[in-house]
Chains A and B, each alone.
Chain A
């Protein structure tokens, strides 16, 4: 599907799926609603309760799930290109766990400095996510090049350490059960427009920045030396991408907790379908990631009477498909 027509088809398919996903998300929930109710809302004749359910509860949640999925997939696409390793993703490299540690730390310490649209939790999540990924990067860098095994193992170890600290902090709090499930497995139950307003602009800026730098990422794939010889400011580009990937992961974690597998699987699917050019990979992966998480959330909140943590769904859906694709490729 790497031809131009194939890409167009994929794009159309993704947009169609996303639109259907939004419609389904609006129509399904614990309270029964019909298409007629939704049509009433569009005409402005819905009751207050229905308007709240459709707009404040379901639509905001669907949009947030889409944005978080897109952020995670974009972050994964960046990290995979960055480390030139298909196994890299925000979760494996430890960014997600680091970000979650930061968020929980902010919660426990009551940090309340806020940058426009970014809460204290979000800031701490970003800082510690960036900290962890830099730490992993420095530890696995040997004589100017990566050893993939070192990178993965360092990432897993750093992530495990961060998760352990997170669990410890949560254990010390009295409301730990609910909090632990939220931070370690993810949920969109509390999605609201404020969170959408926080994530959306940062996501768009990150997407814009990564598109701007996409060709440099293509150059990095040839090796730093070659890239430098071709005029790419390697160090600056690498720094920028590291910040972008951490920012995206931290954003997602600070509103929805850790959601695994999206950042690993989605960029992979897209790369297998349209090839490795990052100019296209970044936007396609974002769209696909958003759609994927939209459906995952739909499943998470409808399959059982009480909600499942969304991380359970993404892993259950993502992992087998990933294995299948990987197997077929060989």
Chain B
């Protein structure tokens, strides 16, 4: 802009004489203006573009789930249980007549059938694998797997054919009476466990186990049978995949929980879910959450949680309902008839007798979808193996449902609030996004990361603000100009140090040294400022003649020497001081007296390293602010008899304060966004604690650590983008606030 006005007046002054040069200048001028403007617009556009991109990546998190009918077929016999293939092209239905029919859903053609030895009284689809368990009238439980083989022809077109396994039969009742409520699981290599209540009320647990050595592939088989005699009659039972926990519900609304040791039930733990009879029972993926459906339409989720006395208890943590918005008297149709757990996440579906259907997610306490079931009077419900669909079967029809449920884990509460996770003793803020297995419950609380970000920023600014601002004050007001010409660029070069180098040094070199020499570090905090003051006084005490022998500004080297000697002395004295004050071990002393654990990779180390990265920025901007205070103000103040210190604190500092404020805010922005130092120098521990002696995990480091592993388009991926958005908003807010405050301050002091 400046250049423009100059050339403008220039060409006006001598229009004819230098027409050619003038035109060239005019052209250069316009070109420059266009280029500069284009550059500015491009920057704004690209920042908006980044923001838009982040928003587009985050937006799908808010999308709700869909459940829609995707196909249906007629059945010859009433369904007892149903399973679907992983491509949702077929469903296998076990009828009451004991026949398993595999039906192609697109045209209703039966593509395969198998027959169990006899008719079944009740049956369940075994969650987690394509298999049925069915109870017969003669007291046996039969299990049959249905595998779906995918074959590819030359064009890579897939055909899926069902393959029925040999039925595995376990004699549960030795007397051949039909069993009551039962629960079953089957594993690989013919392993199976069945728990059932016999006609006389006995609880029978029959187990055939097969364990394979992962290295050698060797199989070890064993079998066992145990019984116990509970007083209650069970309405529903379920058992986890490992055969370790057995649950039962009663008509009085009681829940019983047995821990099985090698198939032997001990004494059950009994809790009440309310007076209404338990009508449906299922375990969510992983077997750690129990979902209970009752005759009054209540759906509740229970967790095994360690309580105060360190005992595991069944605790009711969440409630759902299908009767949303419906008040008034209970109807018989409100009874929950079917529950099915998702094989991929902690979600489940529930259906009641009146034909309502709902999709819920336990962790985030989210009702994903509720609506009218396309099949009333359904008697069997199961998720498809990929949880992208479900099958519903009734007296004469099987209906396939398509389930679109991309991000059930995320709600505002899940991101920022306390959530009661599986196996946790109480609701907590946790970030732990992935596990090695499918049944892992993602914990996506951004709160510990926000706390970590602020903690890291706080401790680094604690070091950087005093040193940066005071350093700038000294350099601009007291230091000899010749030295400033060397010092200022040197400090600015420090800003160019790659932060990964700082992080690496901090993590691998500084952290162990700080741990060993912490008393020395504390000593420095006290001794060094004192030493500097002493050195100053000593220098002033020297006779004038000696003082003048030093070239102007050289006294600063005296301080350097004093500081170096002081630091060396403090580090040498670290051990004796540690012994005298902390009994030889600072870490133990800290833990004993304050209860704070000391971690080698901690906020102090990061503060030191990040301070080094932030100091040059604060220093440079603050130094400019100090230097830009009009000379006449300083001269006026000095002329009126104020000494230098008074001039600096009463005149220069207030006038420079807008600039200093923006220096601090820009330093803050740098510290918030800093990634590599935090990544390498802390342990990236997502803890919620302000203790300076342990680590933290920041939003930015978290993004860097986890984005390579996040499956594109998945919930974690989008949540990380949300974290990026949060960072964006945070720095935007800080910068805007800084700018506003700066403008205000500038106006106020501009009258000076």
| A and B assemble together | no
B→A interface (CB under 8 Å):
none
